[in-house]
Chains A and B, each alone.
Chain A
Amino acid sequence: MQKKLIIALIAAIVVIAVVVAGWQLTQLPSPEARSIKIGLVACYEKAEGQDMDRAAKLAVKEINDAGGVYVAEWHTSVQIELVIADTEDDTPGKAVGPVTRAVTEDQVDLLIGGYTSAGTLADEVVAIDERVPYIITGASTSLVTRRGPQANYGGLPEGDPLRIDDEEGMSYVFHYCTTTADYSKTVVNFFAETMKPLLDSTYEFDASRKLRLAILYRDDAFGKGVAADSKSIIENNNLPIDVVAERSYPTTATSFQTDLTAIKAAKPDAVYVVDFIANTAEIIKEGQRDVGLNTVYIAVECCEDPAYYTLLGEYGDKQLLESKFAPYAGPPFYLETIETYVTNYQQEYDTLPGMMGADTYDAFYIAKDAIERAGTVDKAAVRDAIESCAIDQMLIITETGKIEFSVGTDYHEIAPVTFVEQLIWNEDVGECRSKIVYPATAPGVGELKQADFVLPTAYEPGSP
């Protein structure tokens, strides 16, 4: 009897040991485990591309230092390896090659980045054809995700070559960025809701007087897109704004006095400047210093970068900037994640972050979350996971407080909240710093407005 008990006991122990060992074996890191390769598509020729590079490296460092990304399929956490696809000046001819190499040679699991509209429309085709998830953090045109059947081809007419019929392929592209319609909407609404009432009360204008807007833009897809979107939003919503002047200049221009003089003759209340950092700063300086166009200028969000504040100097005082990420509007910041990011970025790179990098930084965390929820690096599964992303907003405020990609006709876009900041000269720092002046609140953040909009000191309204 005792012998049988002992044998049974030993058998039981052996069985349990085998079972436990077997279970343990399945929990060992799979021999297939390897680092996750993420391709960064950035144009290093531009300051914005360099900001994206720094933001990406910061995100990768943070994620890797915290243990990496857990891939259930391999039972282990792995590190992220950054693969750089430098598109130089991001023209289609230069963008397609590096992205192709990243996808076919380096075999990246995922792509993040993109800068110009044309370059991204060209290089995303590689990701679409090869079925590689691509989180586009640049490109101001909504066509990058709307050119396929899911978004009804973005309104492109039948036969238009930009249309893509590959529904499966289009599902791999995501647009984590604002579009020209997003910026224009905020800007014209600001003018209608905040600036016009202030003008009316300050100068005792009749309420029926429309605000006089001048648009000065660079002559390429970006500038034309914003100008066109602004006008159509004004028209479609019957906003009390008149576009009294519209001037464009070649992308190679570095001096704008003549255009500014012509705008001055049109007597605007405000000027919407659509260009990148260097030119916008120059326009605002020349306008005030050389032409005597003492109005209020509003810049587009891509100017949200340390270089802009440095170039502007004192001429930025009381000028406006439409933005979606405001590292200069604090501390205290409207979102805690911004405080953390700005601090870490400054510590790492001894400079403040810019806007392009913010989208890129978030995208890495979106990717991490997606891979972890998918449990695999299988691209189709990761794509599905990105589509069902619901993490809390990070550096970009969204309308719902969460990062969510739509599956409607605004296919694979997020619903960002953009705002208007006013720059105020700060004697101690020797540069301007900003405060958000519109809108008053945002979901997921609550109170957004930090200060009231005031007219610049030497402001002259347009002709009544």
Chain B
Amino acid sequence: MNRSLVNSLGSIKRELVNFSHSQKFYFVLVAMAIVAIVPLFVRSDYVIGEVLTPMIIFAIYASSWNLLASSGQASLGHAAFLGIGGFASALLAIKLGLPPLIGLFLGSILSAAIGLLIGLACVRLKAWFLAMVTFGFSVIIVTLISQFDSVMGGIMGFPTPLLVPRGVPFYYMTFGFAAISILIMYLVMKSKIGLTFRAIHQNELEAKMIGINTGKYRLIAFVLSTFFAGLAGGLYAQSIRYIQVSIFDPYYSFLPLMMAVIGGLGTIEGPIIGSAIIVSIESYLPRIDPVLQGFLHPLFPSVSNVGPPLRMLGLGLFLVVVVIFAPKGVAPLIKKAYNYLRSSTSEEKT
């Protein structure tokens, strides 16, 4: 087992080297530079703090879900780990007086540890059962935290201590965490470990037959995924400056799924694109709610504000449509458009 671990690490190192020489590397560098200088152009506190920062945090969260799904394990209760990360990092910083950075890491590690336990429970389960168990876990954890309310204070919730000041510093810190996290996840997915995940996903029986210890790799996927989900949770709790049991709501379990699938399941850019799309929709579409209400009220008299249900309906339809008609998500479509533009401009040159 040690040898295969060494092999895997070696393959990650090779991937890192390969990547740094590839064309994609420069593309990513440019993208990162753009994200880095955005605050210089965008002056609005609201946009930086409530739109862009959550986009980055959910990119981490969606990527973590994506990593797990690439091994064929679609979790419907990832919010449990988002919340564990959030609560753990906040409580460790507050109750034990640990510096928030340590709290953040310990919170992620705790999330991964619990992820290991849940992963163990799910190791032999088929996709549908695993989905139900993970969803069930996200419900049970709310009951548990509510029972221990005197220690955790989750029912009323409480403010979270900040690592860095809000606004631009927090944006850059989140960006830093995201860059490192997504890089790690990318390398894992490209390496032999990632290949093994995909093999298990494709056909678990065949994978077993060629000697892959599917249980071990499924657990690795769980631990890695829940670590980053916990990290995203700690960051999210800081971004809204509050943590409460509502972080375990099913909505937060469905979000990373929607983002990853709409963006492009199994790819590395998919969850990032998905996060950008969905956070934009949730942040900006509400502005047209009064207009919608004005037009549509006669059609839907039982609702005071047609905006939110229409929006959720739209997201649900979006997901269904993407899965049926564009199962590879939006990312490949963007790639196609990009390639088309590139090829048409290069044609012009010749």
**Docked CA distance A224–B143 (Å):** 15
Contact B246 A91 (CB under 8 A): yes
Inter-subunit contact A96/B240 (CB<8 Å): yes
B169 at the interface (CB under 8 A from A): no
- In the bound complex, CA of A101 to CA of B51 (Å): 10
B49 touches A92 (CB 8 A): no
**CA of A221 to CA of B242 in the docked complex: distance in angstroms?**
15
Closest to A122 in B: B242
User: C-beta contact mask, A278-299 vs B, less than 8 Å → 1, else 0?
Assistant: 0000000000000000000000
Check if B50 is an interface residue, CB within 8 A of chain A.
yes
B94 touches A (CB below 8 Å): yes
* CB-nearest residue of chain B to A162: B158
Q: In the assembled complex, how far is the CB of residue B248 from the closest CB belonging to chain A, in whole angstroms?
A: 10
Cβ of A92 and Cβ of B146 under 8 Å apart?
no
* A45 with B308: CB separation less than 8 A: yes
Let me know if B246 and A92 touch, CB within 8 A.
yes
How many whole Å from A435's CB to the nearest CB in chain B? 30
Q: Does any Cβ of B come within 8 Å of A398's Cβ?
A: no
Which residues of B sit under 8 angstroms from A221, Cβ to Cβ? 155-156
Chain B min CB distance to A298 (Å): 24
A159 at interface, CB cutoff 8 A: yes
Is A399 on the interface with B (CB-CB < 8 A)?
no
Interface string of A146-171 (1 = CB under 8 A from B): 00000000000001111000000000
- Give bound CA distance, A139 to B161, whole Å: 23
How distant is the Cα of A44 from the Cα of B311 in the complex, in angstroms? 14
Q: Does B204 contact A (CB under 8 A)?
A: no
With contact pairs A50-B304, A100-B46, A219-B146 given, residues A86 and B242 touching in the complex (Cβ less than 8 Å): no
Shortest Cβ distance from residue A437 to the other chain B in the assembled complex, whole angstroms: 33
Chain A, residues 44-57, CB within 8 Å of chain B (1/0): the string is: 11000110010000
Interface status of B290 (Cβ within 8 A of chain A): yes
A97 located at the interface, meaning its Cβ lies under 8 Å from any Cβ of chain B in the complex: yes
Contacting pair A161 B45 (CB below 8 A): no
A220 CB within 8 Å of chain B: yes
B330 at the interface (CB under 8 A from A): no
A105 close to B (CB within 8 Å)? yes
Q: Does B15 contact A (CB under 8 A)?
A: no
Query: Across the interface, do A224 and B155 meet the contact criterion of CB distance under 8 Å?
Result: yes
Within 8 A of B (CB), among A46-85: 49-50, 53, 84
Min CB–CB distance A278 → chain B (angstroms)? 14
B304 to A, closest residue via Cβ? A50
Could you say which of B149, B157, B246, B290 contacts A84, with CB atoms under 8 Å apart? B290
Check: B159 CB closer than 8 A to any chain A CB. Answer: yes
Contacts of A224 in B (CB 8 A): 149, 155
Kindly state whether residue B305 has any CB partner on chain A within 8 Å: yes
A105 near B304 with CB under 8 A, answer no
A442 interface contact, C-beta 8 A: no
Asked whether any CB of chain B lies closer than 8 Å to the CB of A342, the reply is no
Instruction: Assess whether A161 is in contact with B160, with CB atoms less than 8 Å apart.
Output: yes
Contact with B along A220-236 (1 / 0, CB 8 A): 11001000000000000
Tell me whether A121 is interfacial, beta carbon within 8 Å: yes
For B94, the closest partner residue in chain A by CB is A161
Q: Is B290 in contact with A92, judged by CB distance below 8 angstroms?
A: no
Residues on the A chain within 8 Å of B160, using CB: 161
B61 smallest CB distance to A (angstroms): 13
Chain B residues bordering chain A, tally (CB within 8 A): 35
Q: In the complex, how many angstroms separate the beta carbon of A84 from the nearest chain B beta carbon?
A: 7
Question: What is the interface size of chain A, counting residues whose CB is below 8 A from a CB of the partner?
Answer: 34
- How far in angstroms is the closest Cβ of chain B from A248? 10
Once A100-B50, A118-B246 are accepted as A-B contacts, the answer to whether A86 and B286 lie under 8 Å apart by CB is yes
Q: Decide if A244 is an interface residue (CB 8 Å cutoff).
A: no
Give Cα A141 to B157, complex, Å. Answer: 12
Question: In the complex the two chains form, what is the Cα distance from A224 to B17 in whole Å?
Answer: 57
Contact A97 B304 (CB under 8 A): no
Closest residue to B243 on the A side, CB-wise? A92
Query: Is A255 close to B, CB under 8 A?
Result: no
Taken together as a complex, chains A and B put the C-alpha atoms of A364 and B244 apart, in Å, by: 30
Report if A88 contacts B (CB, 8 A): yes
CA distance A160 to B44 in the complex (A): 32
Select the residue from B143, B157, B241, B307 with max chain A CB neighbours within 10 A: B157
B305 pairs with A44, CB closer than 8 A: yes
Query: Of the candidates A45, A84, A92, which one forms a contact with B242 in the assembled complex, judged by CB atoms under 8 Å apart?
Result: A92
* A96 and B156 contacting across the interface, CB-CB below 8 Å: no
Given the complex of chains A and B, what is the CA–CA distance between A113 and B53 in angstroms?
27
**In the bound complex, what is the Cα–Cα distance between A161 and B49 (angstroms)?**
21
CB neighbours of B44 from chain A (8 A): 104-105
The answer to whether A161 touches B305, judged by C-beta atoms less than 8 angstroms apart, is: no
Pull 19 A–B residue pairs with CB atoms less than 8 Å apart, ordered by A. A44-B305, A50-B304, A53-B304, A53-B305, A84-B289, A86-B305, A92-B157, A92-B242, A92-B244, A93-B240, A93-B252, A97-B240, A101-B50, A104-B46, A118-B156, A118-B244, A118-B246, A161-B158, A162-B158
Nearest 10 interchain pairs by C-beta? A91-B246, A50-B304, A44-B305, A122-B242, A92-B242, A161-B158, A221-B156, A104-B46, A118-B157, A96-B240
Extra pairs beyond A86-B307, A89-B246 (20, CB < 8 Å): A45-B305, A53-B305, A92-B157, A92-B240, A92-B244, A93-B242, A93-B246, A93-B252, A100-B46, A101-B50, A118-B155, A118-B246, A121-B157, A121-B159, A122-B241, A125-B241, A125-B242, A162-B159, A221-B155, A250-B143
Measured CB to CB, the residues of A under 8 A from B are: 44-45, 49-50, 53, 84, 86, 88-89, 91-93, 96-98, 100-101, 104-105, 117-118, 121-122, 125, 141, 159-162, 219-221, 224, 250
